[in-house]
Structure 1
Amino acid sequence: MTSPHAHAGPHAHRATSGPSGVTRRRVLYGTAAAGAATVLPAAAHAATGRGRRTVAVLGGGMAGLAAAHELVERGFAVTVFERRALGGKARSIPVEGTGSGGRRDLPGEHGFRFFPGFYRHVPDTMRRIPFPGNSAGVHDNLIALSSTRISRNAGRSDIIVPQLPASGGGLDLDVLKETLTGLVQQAAAIPASELALFVDRYLVYLTSSAERRLGEWEHVPWWKFVRAEGRSGDYRAIVARFLTRGLVAVKEEVASTRTVGAMGEAFLLAGLGLGADGGLARMLDAPTNEAWIDPWVRHLRDRGVRFEVGQAVEALETGGGRVRSVRVVDAAGRRRSAAADWFVCAVPVDRAWTLLSPDVLALDPGLATMRNLRTEWVNGLQFFLRRSPRGLDQEVNFMDSPWQITAVLQSRLWDRDFSRDYGDGQVADCLSLDVSDWDTPGILYGKPAKKCTRAQIAKECWAQMKDHLEDTGRSVLPDDLVHSWFLDPAITWRPSDGSNANDEPLMVNTVGSWANRPGARTRIPNLFMAGDYVRTNVDLATMEGANESGRAAVNALLDAAGSPAERVPVWKLYQPPELDGLKRLDAQRYRSGLPNLFETVPG
């Protein structure tokens, strides 16, 4: 099925929440700026900032880089302050000292990069980042995810989404057999009455108005919405647990139905080709830094962005009802103040909390609600393999794993020869994991990941994958396959209390969290917020949400500055017009205190 808007251009379904009209003044300004950049590109790129309004972007992750990109394109002098490494949670992390013989260090990651088809902001930015040989910049480094396995344990058949050959040659019959068997098993495992219940609940969400989604479903946990209490184990595992911990990394008892439902809807529509930039999902064809982050930083430097890496933002210094400067500190403890006209706070939420001093809150008391936001852990682990395992697909979801593990086999995605390009020549592949549940006891040590040493985490993850892939007696992951492993260095073991700390947690969408999240514009006239915790249309702590928030911060800054520059495009999640009538009816029913028309199961 093809949406009538699927080819409507990059700005289709743009949000109307901010200024999006094109005035004559903006057209003239943009034309003049484009002409000047064409005639005098060297002068434009060599500007030192004298006479230009300055912006300090605090944080060099997804939100900060997106904001810097849009600001420098609109003529601002931009400096980005980053405490650790550019790219934030999306960066690659080289495993130091592992490269030899002219090879690069093995490529570790905070977690593998996954780009759902409904992402619009990140792909738009990627198209504007030059990459040698690519007509659409780094966007051309995205490849369609064509093979996914939903793996079950205890001898149950896996569900496989097989690769469809472009030549139309046909399917692998063994794969097709296992897929059909798995689908039948899943359907049979859940009683018919519970399948009907889930269909009913899904229809309720799909036909709910925006008013009901924000006013009611924002405050209802997904567990309660799908009526999981007292249902079968498979219903709870698939409908309640997997769709929350496995897909949006938040526990089903506290996950906002508004967020989980919106993500399920977005995936469904993208699979149907509606409101999607590409297919159902895509991934990069190389380590993130090589395919995306490094070219992005080079491009921004070429445009004039200054990067101050190793400078942690310690405080916002106020005066005269505004932010005067920021105090930054380096690894040696040296402190200094940096002034600017405008400030975009794009540090993660756990870092932003530390900036909410009494002076800052006196200027905008509403920012205090950010302290009510909740974080969880989603971190990566890579197994570097001596040879590529047989029978593994591009991406595997280990549905019944206590730690809600998902993994990708990089040889199926990356255009790289591992033994030639990385490490000591003995590594042929990489199995890259995301671990989404750090609080549930594992199967080897009976402890949650937060209570396991780094070595125990690696052994536990390996065992949980084998529990799924080798439950029918076949050998998929023999132990001698492992050359080495690498756990995200944000995870650090504390022997004093026998637990881990996490330097880079993730904000999660719990019930009622929307009210506690800041908007892009604050009551402080020259301070703007960006980050995956800021209110966005995508409403999920993701790369997409971070990018959208950076754009929203820039639009708010442009408004405050009275800039004639063209506003940054912002998209809403696609909503099928075929459901508009039912949603209008639901809005009336909601205002009248009545349930959704499809609500057949009492709460």
Structure 2
Amino acid sequence: MHKVTIVGAGIAGLTAALRLLERGYHVTLYEQDNFIGGMLRSHKEHDHGDYPREHSYHMLCNWYYNFWSVAEDLGIEDNFTPREAFKFLYDGDLDNMPEMVNPGGIQDFYRNLTGGAAPPAELFLFMYSMVDLLSIPDSEDDKLDRMSFNGWLRGRPYCTDEVAQLHEKIWQTVWAIDSWQASARSYKTFLKYGNRVPVPQLWLFAGSKKDTLIDPFHAKLKQFGDRFELKYRHRLREVHPSEDGTRIERLVFDKVTKSPSVNPDWKVAKKDIVDDVSDENVIISITPGGMASMVTDDLYNADPALGQLRYLEAEPMASVELYLKRKLPGIPTEVVVFMDTPYEMTFLNYSATWGLKNTFLYVTVSDFKSLLSVKPERRDENQNLILDLKNPKTAIDYILREITAKLEITEADIDLFQTSVDTNTGEELFANLTGSWEHRPEVNTKFENLFLAGTYVRNFADVSTVEGACATGLIAAEGVRQAAQREPDKGDAGKPVEVITPDFYPSQMFQTLKIAWAPYAASAKAWTLADKALGINKLWPPKDFKFPKSKFTPNPENLGSLFTDWLPASKWNEKTLGLGPMFWNYTEDGKPRKK
């Protein structure tokens, strides 16, 4: 029987494990924490209430076909709920928020033009900038990777400060890095896939990720019986190659006392647990920083490309799980972006998706670096938060001071036992920074039996996403299968592991649109210059301005028709036809499917 060792039980490692188990392999999965999920973690390893703690909320796009394929195999088709808008919160006015609706496509052009996220002329230029970026052929991607998106945008003659700032908010909301750091190539890649299937712009988990994804995934893997082994709290410390440098021979782990991802005070309980993998294939799916620390002299000399991992960077971020003792009225179900506040914060109403009586807001804090200077939080002997919002002393003090200034929340409203802050310090997210593509490794290494997986590994999705993680897990599984074909004495290697690459519109289409819209872009830029000269839009939004409210609500009666009117299912690539919540829930003419 073919044996595989996988290190890291994030979505990439779990996906690889599933596909290989389906093909008859024996899989040993090592995980440093006492739970699985990685960056999609949702766990109860804490002392603060009955609900799982999570690492950020995740937005899933229609074009995540490899993820949807896995979800379908897990039988979790009903565990997702659609959203079509980002909302922008000024001065705590929940009843009057501008919005961006399905910004990846042109089908909502007029709705966005009048949606109030910026003056109409700036919003036109915002949308024109995406057309401009998508008009650049893929042959120019290497050049785009060497410039930041903000740098590229600021060099366009139509760009204004408001256009650049709106893109900045989108970048911070979705990827938690600044647009002046982010690769223009990565942004273009994300747009070109999203533009092909733009309605709705995203899907959310309809409940905790523990209930909707992690537990079903674990249950599926356990169905393979003795061929699946999961070893918790094993932290990889060393990777040793063979003497001739052609294979990985040994992995050395430390058994830890607590989950390192969520417990800074973890310790080593047992050292030097050695796994002889000389006769197995190995997939390592850990953070880029963790993998870089494994690259010793022997590894580097055998595969110098692994040294490039040192050039990859990751960004710290934090999240606050804000539980209230009451229901806060007027909280929307869409992702909300705090405007004019420090720390680049957004929030999602988890109480709506989790079905809770009292309000639970999940707040992401993208610009967290300065707050690393103070302790995350303080608690008393009963595990209740100790807050001081007037004279903040901890990271959560500073964050909640800004939130309570924007929303009608007092310190007395906060559930001090369940509210908490979570940082990813030591487990930072890979960041698609300028120039990173040339340093990112391929899935296949020069070692015959070593494969890498994770968002930092090269893949078609490029941007650090759930889909990118799934795709690299599948590519690694296929690499293992091909390696197993060279050892027929151990049994059948199984059928090929399929990786689905999404469709996208050709750059020539956007080149035509760019030329057609160029006179309007010039007029819009002239309009903005005139506005500034006359002081018309000196302050945005204008005082007492009422933003138009979206007529759309995500429900089965209208979502399907919105989607299929824009992109009939019959025009899709056969490989993607039928994958994802749109096809699970709606017929080709947009009617809800009967369950």
- For the pair 1:222 / 2:168, whether they are aligned, the reply is no
1:94 and 2:19 are equivalent in the alignment = no
> Which residue type is aligned with residue 452 of structure 1?
V
Aligned to 2:30: 81
**8 Å contact 1:109–1:488 — kept in the other structure?**
no
| Distance in 1 separating the partners of 2:97 and 2:432 | 29
Q: From the superposition, tell whether residues 182 and 461 of structure 1 become closer, same or farther in structure 2 (CA, over 3 Å).
A: farther
Matches of 2:99 and 2:496 in 1, distance apart? 43
Could you tell me which residue of structure 1 aligns to residue 221 of structure 2? 300
1:282–1:576 CA distance, 2 compared to 1 (3 A): same
Match of 1:335 among 272, 285, 300: 272
The match for 1:208 is 136
* TM-score (normalizing by structure 2): 0.72
Shift of 1:68: 0.6
Question: Deviation at 1:397?
Answer: 1.8
Q: Distance in 1 between matches of 2:474 and 2:98?
A: 38
Deviation at 1:60, TM superposition (A): 0.9
1:540 aligned residue? 463
Distance 1:287 1:401, change over 3 A: same
Equivalent residue for 2:351? 411
Residue in structure 2 matched with residue 128 of structure 1 by the alignment:
73
- Counterparts of 1:393 and 1:93, CA distance in 2: 26
Structure 1 residue 299 displacement after superposition: 1.3
SS of corresponding position for 2:236 = strand
Is the 1:326–1:338 Cα contact (8 Å) retained in structure 2? Answer: yes
What residue number does 1:576 align with?
505
Q: Which residues of 2 match residues 227-376 of structure 1 at below 5 A?
A: 227=154, 233-239=161-167, 241-271=168-198, 273=199, 279-303=200-224, 304-319=227-242, 320=244, 321-331=246-256, 332-340=269-277, 341-376=280-315
Counterpart for residue 435 of structure 1? 365
CA contact (8 A) 1:60 1:346 kept: yes
Aligned partners of 1:337, 1:462: CA distance in 2, in Å? 45
Distance 1:92 1:155, change over 3 A: closer
In 2, distance between residues paired with 1:378 and 1:229? 31
Q: Could you tell me how far apart the structure 1 residues matched to 2:250 and 2:324 are?
A: 48
Q: CA deviation at 1:316?
A: 1.1
Pick closer, same or farther for the CA change 1:581–1:382 going to 2, 3 Å.
closer
1:117 to 2:62 alignment: yes
Aligned 1:441-460 pairs, distance under 5 A: 448-455=370-377, 456-460=394-398
Residue correspondence of structure 1 range 23-38 to structure 2 within 5 A: none
Q: CA 1:184–1:284 in 2, change beyond 3 Å: closer, same or farther?
A: closer
After TM superposition, the structure 1 stretch with the greater mean CA deviation from structure 2, 460-469 or 315-324, is 460-469
Alignment deviations for residues 315-351 of structure 1 (CA, whole Å, 9 cap, x no partner): 1122142111211111203322112310001111111
Residue 483, structure 1, aligned to residue 415, structure 2: yes
- Aligned pair 1:392/2:324, yes or no? no
Contact 1:95 1:106 in 2 (8 A): no
User: What TM-score do the two structures reach when normalised by structure 1?
Assistant: 0.71
Task: Decide whether the 8 Å contact of 2:21 with 2:27 is kept in 1.
Answer: yes
- In 1, Cα distance between equivalents of 2:117 and 2:154: 22
How far apart in 1 are the matches of 2:160 and 2:402? 23
* Alpha-carbon distance in 1 for matches of 2:135, 2:249: 48
Q: How many Å separate the matches in 1 of 2:91 and 2:19?
A: 47
Corresponding residue to 2:448 among 512, 525, 533: 525
Quick one: distance in 1 between partners of 2:194 and 2:337? 16
Q: Alignment RMSD, CA only?
A: 3.2
Post-superposition offset of 1:113: 2.7
2: CA distance, partners of 1:93 / 1:383: 17
Residue type of the alignment partner of 2:395:
I
Residue 143 of structure 1 and its aligned partner are, at CA, apart by 1.5
The one-letter code of the counterpart of 1:297 is H
**Shift of residue 489 of structure 1?**
4.8
| Amino acid of the structure 2 residue aligned with 1:511 | T
Superposition map of 1:458-477 within 5 A: 458-469=396-407, 476-477=408-409
User: 5+ unaligned residues in a row in structure 2: which ranges?
Assistant: 103-110, 257-268, 378-393, 486-491, 526-595
The 2-side partners of 1:202 and 1:583 are apart by 11
Q: Which residue is 1:510 aligned to?
A: 433
CA distance in 2, matches of 1:244, 1:209: 22
Secondary structure of 1:483 counterpart: coil
1:54-94 Cα shifts (integer Å, max 9, x gaps):
11101111111111111111111100111113111111132
Aligned AA for 1:574? D
8 Å Cα contact 1:204-1:599 kept in structure 2? no
* Identity percentage of aligned residues: 21
Aligned length: 467
Name the amino acid aligned to 1:69.
L
Contact 1:551 1:568 in 2 (8 A): yes
> Compared with structure 1, are the counterparts of its residues 558 and 79 closer, same or farther at alpha carbon in structure 2 (3 Å cutoff)?
same
SS at match of 1:413: helix
Residues 1:152 and 2:76 aligned together: no
What residue is the counterpart of 1:38 in the other structure? none
User: What's the secondary structure of 2:314's corresponding residue?
Assistant: strand
Structure 2 vs 1, CA of residues 582 and 116 (structure 1 numbering), >3 Å: closer, same or farther? closer
For the residue of structure 2 that corresponds to 1:202, the secondary structure is helix
Aligned residues of 1:55 and 1:78 also touching (Cα < 8 A) = yes
SS of 2:76's equivalent in the other structure is helix
Q: Distance in 2 between matches of 1:559 and 1:124?
A: 21
Flag the 1:234–1:486 CA change in 2: closer, same or farther, 3 A.
same
* Conserved 8 A contact 1:454-1:487: no
CA contact (8 A) 1:285 1:413 kept: yes
Per the TM alignment, residue 417 of structure 1 is displaced from its structure 2 partner at its CA by: 4.4
1:283-316 Cα deviation digits (max 9, x unpaired):
1122111211012112112213210111111111
Instruction: Kindly report which structure 2 residues correspond to 1:155-166, keeping only aligned pairs within 5 A, or say none.
Output: 157-160=96-99
Could you tell me how far 1:353 is from its partner in structure 2? 0.9
Deviation per residue, 1:538-586 (Å, 9 max, x gap): 1111222111110011112222222652222222243125x456779x9
For 1:229-269, what per-residue CA distance to the aligned partner results, in whole angstroms no more than 9, with x for missing partners?
99755333213x21322222222222100112222344444
